[in-house]
Structure formats: C-alpha cells, structure tokens
Amino acid sequence: MPWLLLAAATIVLTVLGYYSRLPWLLPLLQVVPAYPILVRDLKEGKISLAVLRMLAWAMVIALTVGALALHAPETGAASVLHGQAYRDEMVRWVRTGVGSESMPSRFLPQHLLHVVAFAALSLGTGSLLSLVLGAVLMNYMSFYVGSLLSLARRPEIVLLCGWPPWSILRVTAFVILGVVLAGPFLRRVAGIPFRWVDRRGWILAAAAGLVLDAVLKAMLAPSWGRILRSALFSASPGL
C-alpha cells in the first residue's frame, strides 16, 4: 500500500504543481507523500526500504515531469524552478559542445555546492527541506530531458541517453544521503534510533557514487553530447 500511495500521490501532486504555474508549489507538493513514508520507514529501522522508496519517488518525478515537459513545455517553463534556463543551457551544449557540462572546472564547484547544501538541509531539518531541494533538482533535469524528446529526430536515443549514467549515480547518492542524514535530527525530535556507526556503509556508498559521478562526467560528457546531438540535429546544426 505505501508503494501505491507514494506513486499515485506523487503523480497527482506533480501534475497539479506543474499546471499551477507557481514554481515553489511544485516541489513542496511533491514532498507531501514522500516525507511521512520516509519518517515511518526510519522509525521502523528499515533503511534499505527507505532508500528504495525514495529512489522510486525520484523515478516517478522524473517520468511524470518528463512526460509533462513533452506535452506542455510552455507550462513547465513557468512552473519548474530553473527549468527553462537549464533546458536552454543544456540544449546549447548539445548543439555546440560548449558548456559547463563538459568542463570539470565549472561543474565540480556546482556539484559540491549542491552536496553541501543537501547534506546541511538533511542534518538540519531531518531531510524535509533536502527532499524539497532534491525535488527541485529532479524537476529541472526531468524538464530538460522531456524537452529533448520534443526536439528529437531520433527519440529512441534520447530515451536511452537523456539521463546519463553519472546523473543517475548522483541521484542515488543524494537519496542515500537524504535517508541517512535525516537520522540525527529525527533522533532528537522524535526519538528515532540512530547511530553513525550503523550508517557508515551507506555513507561510503554515497561518497563513492558522488566520486564516480564526477569521474564519469569528466570522461564521458563530451562524447555523450555528440550522441545526443545526432539524435536532435542534422550533421551540421550550426551555432
């Protein structure tokens, strides 16, 4: 039942938030079904289940926002925080090969900022606000991928490659951090058991995922951009 409730409520609330044209309402609505389930799983000591459920929540957001972006891009431009700017930046990178996506000196500081902010919000709010931040990040990435599908000459390539493996690793690492780092705050305010030593393996897994994310992106992003370019544009797309 929690799985079905999580998926159905996330879809419905995402659609409502998307069509609201109120940018902050969308991520706030998306967190409504997820956070109580996360807290309940942690209260019952089901860390693995909590990670799986939050990964499923992120996947539902990705699919829903991607589908909405495909069918109603103008609405998403008004409702998805940073959505239009990120989409335009990434499409420009795909078209030209020039952009921060393939420049570690530019994307690494941004990644670090996101990780630090996410971890601080997790520790300080029991992951309530870090889930909101996670929803914001998921929304604009998903809006970009859905927008790529609307532009694609070969949509099957976008379906396979729109979400690169390093982004999937980053989402997974953030989910793990959100689940684990909620513990200290929830122990203080709700008496939910938590010991750092019991979470060491999860933290190491998240750290490994973030490092691998950066390495893969630095190595593969330029060639990944060329793959996407072949799906969107003719051989000589211009600038």
Report the number of distinct structural domains present in the chain.
Answer: 1
Tens digit of each residue's pLDDT (9 = 90 or more) over 47-63: 999 999 999 999 999 99
Residues 23/79, Cβ–Cβ less than 8 Å: yes
Which structural domain, as residue segments, surrounds residue 17?
2-232
- Tell me the two tokens of residue 38: 């996360």
- Has residue 78 been placed in a domain? yes
**Distance from C-alpha of 101 to C-alpha of 218, rounded to nearest angstrom:** 8
pLDDT score at 237: 45
Tens digit of each residue's pLDDT (9 = 90 or more) over 191-203: 999 999 999 999 9
- Tell me the two tokens of residue 1: 């039942």
- Has residue 210 been placed in a domain? yes
In degrees, rounded to 5, the angle at the alpha carbon of residue 131 between the alpha carbons of residues 127 and 134 is: 130
Predicted structure pTM score:
0.95
- Has residue 239 been placed in a domain? no
Q: What is the mean pLDDT of the chain?
A: 95
Residue 70 identity:
L
Secondary structure letter of residue 127 according to DSSP: T
For residue 235, count other CB atoms closer than 10 A to its CB.
6
Residue 233: band (very low, low, confident or very high) from pLDDT cuts 50, 70, 90: confident
Q: Where are the beta strands (DSSP E) in 80-192?
A: none
For residue 150, which phi and psi values (nearest 5 degrees)? -70, -20
- Tell me the two tokens of residue 239: 């600038």
- Tell me the two tokens of residue 123: 């520790």
- Has residue 108 been placed in a domain? yes
pLDDT score at 236: 45
C-alpha separations of 66 from 36, 53, 156 in Å:
25, 20, 14
Residue 235: band (very low, low, confident or very high) from pLDDT cuts 50, 70, 90: low
- Has residue 187 been placed in a domain? yes
Residue 234 scores a pLDDT above 80: no
- Has residue 30 been placed in a domain? yes
Residue 210 scores a pLDDT above 90: yes
**Distance from C-alpha of 42 to C-alpha of 195, rounded to nearest angstrom:** 12
- Has residue 237 been placed in a domain? no
For residue 148, count other CB atoms closer than 10 A to its CB.
25
Residue 239 scores a pLDDT above 90: no
- Has residue 238 been placed in a domain? no
